[in-house]
């Protein structure tokens, strides 16, 4: 099947980054096709924490009410714990902003986003794989699988929102991430928590209807010692962290473990071979910071602001790419680097203890760190004002 009329925008990947961009541009009047290699709904390895920096974007997308109807909980507090039964709790807020943090189960949340995309007029093609792309004024995408198998899709702009490219997964992996859904956990419905252990950390996110996502990141050394059963590693973390143990005491696992190796990409990709990149396709975070979905949403928001400047066929991709990279580095690079720095330190027991000493003595430090990671993202589409003046800078920067 070959599409007879070119699209303004073709997006590869129907996760939060791709779907939110599709919704935004379709409502702006663009003809959008969203290509997903899997069948919706599908599982993703993700803690499911949507930080307060995304409040306005979710409002713009009209998702607050559908998320409430889906039963996703609003999260109001963050608890951190380390071994020796030490913990600290702070409110999930960013000073000076009306914000809301959410807990979501990705299988259900991604399907909700795709439904909203269809309502906005986006053509969604599932189980569709693109084998190659011919670049030009109008790009040609050749499909090898799915409803468009053997056909060609033409689009003025192409965006890759399909995550880390396998070619970027080189060398030893940084860590292993696993997630599963549990019920009957001893967790307050509005509290997200992160629990540190000597060789990993575990996050617990309420996702509604009495369920929580239990997701953890484990150092490679654990697997080298023969710990290959996900439940065995979680049991080890529970032995090392009393707070984590109490929260999961009596909890019942209701979905299988899903896992993925974590490679921290060092070379960022914004525009390559005629295609823009958003979300993890640019570069990924360490999960310890809870900003993975923030980077997914906000990178798409930054690009959308630039694409809206003109008609798809009239845009200069190279000029848009330069502005997009500058915006991304200004707004998101510091958060990504901080997440990787904290991730590297937090699995070292001595450092985790020192950090807890500081946070318990000076809670403002933890609140400031959280505010920096989850501050409002400025998506000024005007390239002449990419560097804000002194009066425009956010207080936390």
Structurally, at CATH architecture level, domain 7-167+265-385 sits in 3-Layer(bba) Sandwich (3.50)
With CA atoms as reference, report the closest residue to 126 among 142, 150, 146.
146
Exposure class string for 136-151: b at 16+ Cβ within 10 A, else e: eeebbbbbeebebeee
Secondary structure, 3-state, 37-62: CCCCCCCCCCCCEECHHHHHHHHHCC
pLDDT at 353 exceeding the cut of 90: no
Helical residues (DSSP H) of 51-148, grouped into ranges: 55-60, 64-69, 106-119
Give the whole-number percent of the chain exceeding pLDDT 70: 89
| Domain segments of the chain as ranges | 7-167+265-385
Reported confidence tier of residue 8, pLDDT bands at 50, 70, 90: very high
Please give the average per-residue pLDDT across 127-135, as a whole number: 90
Token pair listed for 74: 């609003």
Please give the average per-residue pLDDT across 269-274, as a whole number: 92
Q: Give the per-residue pLDDT at 395.
A: 33
Token pair listed for 19: 């779907």
CB within 8 Å of 65: residues ≥ 6 apart: none
Reported confidence tier of residue 223, pLDDT bands at 50, 70, 90: confident
Distance CA 318, CA 203 (A): 40
What would the pLDDT profile of 50-69 be if each residue is shown by its tens digit? Answer: 999 899 999 999 999 999 99
- Owner of token pair 């009329």: 5
């Amino acid at each position: 099947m070959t599409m007879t009329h070119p699209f303004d925008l073709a997006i590869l990947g129907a996760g939060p980054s791709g779907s939110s961009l599709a919704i935004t541009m379709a409502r702006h009047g663009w003809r959008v096709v969203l290509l997903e290699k899997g069948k919706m709904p599908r599982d993703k390895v993700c803690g499911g924490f949507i930080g307060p920096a995304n409040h306005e974007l979710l409002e713009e997308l009209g998702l607050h009410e559908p998320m409430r109807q889906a039963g996703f909980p609003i999260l109001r507090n963050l608890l951190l714990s380390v071994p020796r039964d030490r913990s600290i709790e702070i409110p999930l807020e960013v000073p000076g902003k009306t914000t809301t943090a959410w807990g979501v189960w990705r299988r259900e949340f991604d399907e909700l986003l795709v439904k909203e995309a269809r309502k906005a007029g986006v053509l969604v093609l599932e189980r569709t794989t693109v084998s190659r792309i011919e670049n030009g004024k109008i790009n040609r995408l050749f499909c090898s699988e799915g409803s468009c198998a053997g056909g060609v899709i033409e689009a003025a702009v192409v965006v890759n929102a399909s995550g880390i490219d396998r070619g970027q997964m080189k060398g030893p992996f940084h860590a292993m991430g696993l997630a599963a859904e549990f019920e009957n956990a001893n967790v307050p419905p509005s509290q997200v928590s992160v629990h540190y252990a000597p060789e990993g950390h575990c996050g617990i996110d309420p996702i509604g209807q009495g369920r929580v996502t239990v997701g953890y990141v484990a150092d490679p050394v654990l697997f080298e010692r023969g710990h290959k059963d996900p439940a065995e590693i979680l049991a080890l973390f529970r032995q090392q962290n009393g707070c984590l143990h109490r929260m999961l005491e009596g909890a019942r696992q209701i979905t299988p473990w899903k896992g993925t190796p974590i490679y921290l990409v060092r070379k960022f990709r914004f525009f390559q071979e005629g295609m823009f990149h958003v979300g993890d396709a640019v570069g990924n975070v360490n999960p310890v910071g809870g900003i993975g979905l923030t980077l997914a949403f906000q990178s798409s928001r930054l690009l959308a602001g630039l694409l809206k400047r003109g008609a798809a066929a009239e845009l200069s991709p190279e000029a848009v790419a330069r502005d997009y990279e500058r915006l991304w580095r200004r707004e998101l690079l510091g958060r990504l680097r901080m997440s990787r720095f904290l991730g590297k330190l937090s699995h070292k027991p001595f450092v985790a203890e020192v950090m807890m000493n500081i946070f318990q003595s000076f809670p403002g430090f933890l609140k400031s760190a959280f505010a920096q990671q989850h501050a409002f993202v400025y998506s000024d589409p005007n390239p002449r004002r990419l560097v804000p003046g002194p009066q425009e800078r956010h207080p936390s920067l």
